[in-house]
Amino acid sequence: MSNTILVGAQWGDEGKGKIIDYLTEQADIVVRAQGGANAGHTVIVGKTKYILHLIPSGILRNRTTCVIGNGVVIDPAGLVEEIDGLKQNGIDPAGRLLVSDAAHMVFPYHKALDAAREALKGRGKIGTTLRGIGPAYGDKIARSGLRMGSILNAKRFVEQLGQAVRDNNILLRSLGARPLPLKRTMDGVLKAARRLRPYVTNTVQLLHKAVAAEKRILFEGAQGTFLDIDHGTFPYVTSSNTTAGGMCTGSGIPPTMIDRVIGVAKAYTTRVGEGPMPSEDRVVGDLLHGMGREYGATTGRERRCGWFDAVTVRQSARLNGITDLALTNLDGLDTLGSIKVCVGYRLGGKPIDHQPSDLAQLARCRPVYETFPGWQTPTDKIRTWKALPPNARRYAKALAKLTGTRLSHASVGPGRSQTITL
């Protein structure tokens, strides 16, 4: 197997960064193809905890080339900050990190617009990460955004950026928000842009050359299937295609060159931000928050928690063509005597086996649960499938069966070594 896509099968935060880090051993190139600094991929190596927002998690292995593809939206200042953070930990991305010249940029006014629009929505807010993601993708689709390649022509970029800041200040004022100071805003962006110039290149050509040389590519999906702009719980979604197809358009690598799709799912469900979540349950939230778990890596917000929802993950398996299921956070359920799994919904008394696309209907869906016996044994030190408690194995296998996938990995903690391969 050479080219692998890894996607989140739920609402994000499935533990993709950790699984990517584990799989990177078998990859030459790791590619991010969508999203931006709204992502927060946590990887723990030894005693150091890394939270990566834009740079692929593969950067933590020194043999791996990392690509930020054309489908990503990049905040130049944020990227520089991330590069510097890695350098402080002895990791220099120079020469190993390549940034697409066709990737659109996120500017301070996108963040200001994100905040202004959320404020206007009031109680109907999306609960975004306020990283400017929606407004930046909006500019891309409206064909008015600026791409990374434009920083290579410094003189022209100054003009383009100046015009963009002035135009968007008009927009900000009209939304009742404060305009940005022109000079200070531009200086910040220009300073970061200068630093990023050496990283910018035509990554589509680079990736195709790599494929021809039989290099192995790993696509690091960000967010999760139900945050997909088309297939998620619109409008409570992010502004990119988080599903497998997005990895192709966001990188220039066609579907026929993909050999494997791994879906990552937690052994339960979490979600950050607003929007329906049928299996949400206080019992699970209290348990996990009590253990100090399930706080957002990007925003620090408490994540909403619930039981594993087999309806959504089954749908996710279809949307992404998931071949392998990597189940994470199994250890989060270690203390429970019994564990519920949402195996179907009831809508107005009738059973339903998929997520309705109408949000109002989804909000009225009631979960149908099946109960599984817990294992009440710590699993975080277990390293082989056979050594897992029988009830943990039964639970994990049942989730794969219910979702029509093949269980490929089970993860029992955030560390590199806490990943069991089946």
- Return the active site residues: 13, 41
- Considering beta carbons, is residue 31 or 200 the nearer one to ligand IMP? 31
Q: CA separation (Å) from 311 to 11, 332, 338, 396?
A: 13, 21, 20, 15
> Rounded to 5 degrees, what are φ and ψ at 209?
-65, -40
128 counts as binding ligand IMP under rule CB under 6 A: yes
- Using DSSP's 3-state secondary structure scheme, residue 224 falls into coil
Compute the least distance from the CB of residue 135 to ligand IMP, in Å: 9
Q: Is 248 within 8 Å of 255 (Cβ atoms)?
A: yes
Q: What is the dihedral of CA 136, 137, 142, 143, to 10 degrees?
A: 80
Is the CB of residue 64 less than 8 Å from the CB of residue 27? Answer: yes
Tell me the CA distances in angstroms from 332 to 272, 378, 379, 410, one per residue in order.
Answer: 18, 9, 9, 12
Q: Which of 40, 252, 275, 367 binds Mg ion (CB under 5 A)?
A: 40
Q: Residue 350 Cβ, how far from Mg ion at the closest point, in Å?
A: 35
Residue 414 near Mg ion by CB under 5 A: no
Instruction: Considering the complex, state which of residue 332 and residue 367 has its C-beta at the smaller distance from Mg ion.
Output: 332
Residue 363 to residues 13, 224, 273, 278: CA-CA distances in angstroms?
Answer: 22, 19, 15, 7
From residue 40, give the alpha-carbon distance in Å to each of 14, 57, 263, 343, 358: 11, 10, 17, 29, 29
Report the residue number, 3 or 238, with the smaller CB distance to ligand IMP: 238
In contact, 128 and 118? CB cutoff 8 Å? yes
Task: Select from Mg ion, ligand IMP, none the partner in contact with residue 145, using the beta carbon and a kind-dependent cut-off of 5 to 8 Å.
Answer: none
Q: For residue 181, what are the contacts with CB-CB under 8 A and spacing of at least 6? A: none
- Least Å distance, CB 71 to Mg ion, is 18
134 three-state secondary structure: helix
Task: Determine which residue in the list 73, 227, 311, 339 makes contact with ligand IMP, applying CB under 6 A.
Answer: 227
* Residue 71 in the binding site for ligand IMP (CB under 6 A): no
Q: Does residue 100 sit in helix, strand or coil?
A: strand
**Is 78 among the residues that bind ligand IMP (CB under 6 A)?**
no
40 vs 414, beta carbon nearer ligand IMP: 40
Rounded to 5 degrees, φ, ψ at 103 are -75, 135
Q: How far is the CB of 385 from ligand IMP (least distance, A)?
A: 28
Minimal distance in Å, beta carbon 118 to ligand IMP? 9
Among 31, 59, 222, 398, the residue binding ligand IMP under the rule CB under 6 A is: 222
Instruction: Tell me: does residue 76 bind ligand IMP (CB under 6 A).
Output: no
Q: How far is the CB of 265 from Mg ion (least distance, A)?
A: 14
x/- letters, 246..285, toward ligand IMP (CB under 6 A)? --------------------------xx------------
Environment class of 415 (CB within 10 Å of its CB; exposed 0-12, middle 13-18, buried 19+)? middle
**Binding footprint of ligand IMP, residue count (CB under 6 A):** 20
Contact pick of 172, 297, 313, 333 for Mg ion (by CB under 5 A)? 297
Residue whose structure tokens are 């997520």:
355
The pairing of strands 48-52 and 41-45 is antiparallel
- Tally of CB atoms within 10 A around 334: 17
Q: What is the dihedral of CA 284, 225, 128, 300, to 10 degrees?
A: 40
The DSSP call for residue 153 is: S
By beta carbon distance, the residue nearest ligand IMP is 273
Told to check if 223 binds ligand IMP by CB under 6 A, we report yes
Mark the segment that binds Mg ion (CB under 5 A) among 36-44, 101-109, 255-263, 339-347: 36-44
- Residue count at the site for Mg ion (CB under 5 A)? 3
Q: Which of 5, 13, 258, 322 touches ligand IMP by CB under 6 A?
A: 13
Q: Is 242 in the site for ligand IMP (CB under 6 A)?
A: no
CA 51 to chain centre: 12
Three-class SS of residue 89? coil
User: Which residue among 127, 162, 188, 374 contacts ligand IMP (CB under 6 A)?
Assistant: 127
Binding mask 254-293 for Mg ion (x = CB under 5 A): ----------------------------------------
Q: Kindly list the residues in this chain that would bind ligand IMP in the complex (CB under 6 A).
A: 12-13, 38-40, 126-129, 131, 133-134, 222-223, 227, 236, 238-239, 272-273
Q: Kindly list the residues in this chain that would bind Mg ion in the complex (CB under 5 A).
A: 13, 40, 297
